[in-house]
Copies of this chain bind each other. A is one copy, B any other.
Amino acid sequence: MTITDEVTVNGVDTATLFATLTAVKAAPEAAQFQFRASNEWISGTHNRSTIGGYFGVGEERAHERVFQFDADHPAVLVGQDNAPTPVEFVLHALAACLTAGIANIAAARGVRLTEVTSTVTGDIDLNGVLGLDPDVRKGYEKITVRFAIKGDAPAEKLRAIVERSRTMSAVYDVLTAGVPVAIEIDTP
C-alpha cells in the first residue's frame, strides 16, 4: 500500500482515516455501533422513516440533522408513487456503500479518482410477493452493479480497488450472506 504524502485525497482526510484506524485498534469496543430508523405508516403503501440518532464510539450520537425518507409503490403496484419502492432503497444502499469504500480505499492507496459512477439493477418476479406462485422467491432474484471508474492509476489498480471495496462492504455482506432479522410486535 502506497500512502500519499498529501492529507486529503478524493475528499478523504487520510490522516483522520489512519488516526481512526489506530484509535479503534487500541480500543476495539469503540467500533460497536447501532444504527436505527423509525418508520410511520401514512396511508396504503406510503410510509416515512426518520433517521437521527445512533450509538457509536461508546456513546449516543446524532446526525448533524434529522433525515426523513418516504417509500411507496407506483400505481401499477397499487400505490401512489409518492416515493421509490422499498426494494429500490436497497439498490441505493448497495451502490452508496460500495462507492464510499472505493473512495476510501483509493485514498489509502494514493490513487486520485476522477469519476465513479454505477448503475445497480435488481431483477424481481413479483409473482412471489403477490402470493401467486409459491415457488418464486419474494425478493430479488439477482442484483447487478456496473461501475465506471476513472483515476490516475492503471485499469488493473482501479479494478483492484473496486474488488477490495466489495470484500469490505457492509451492505454487500448483508445482501449476499444474509443477516438475522427479529420482529417484535406490540399490540394494544
Contacts and interface: CB of A to CB of B under 8 A. Distances in A.
Interface in A23-78: 24-25, 28, 31-47, 49, 51, 54, 56-57, 61, 63-64, 67, 69, 71-74, 76-78
Contact of A81 (B64, B85, B117, B123): B64
Number of identical protomers: 2
Interface in A137-188: 137-150, 155, 158-159, 162-163, 166-188
State the 4 A-B residue pairs at the shortest beta-carbon distance, nearest first: A11-B43, A71-B96, A139-B173, A11-B44
A149 B81 CA distance: 24
Contact of A150 (B67, B147, B175, B187): B187
Nearest to A82: B64
Interface residues of A, number: 132
Interface of A: 10-13, 16-17, 20-21, 24-25, 28, 31-47, 49, 51, 54, 56-57, 61, 63-64, 67, 69, 71-74, 76-79, 81, 83-104, 107, 113, 115-133, 137-150, 155, 158-159, 162-163, 166-188
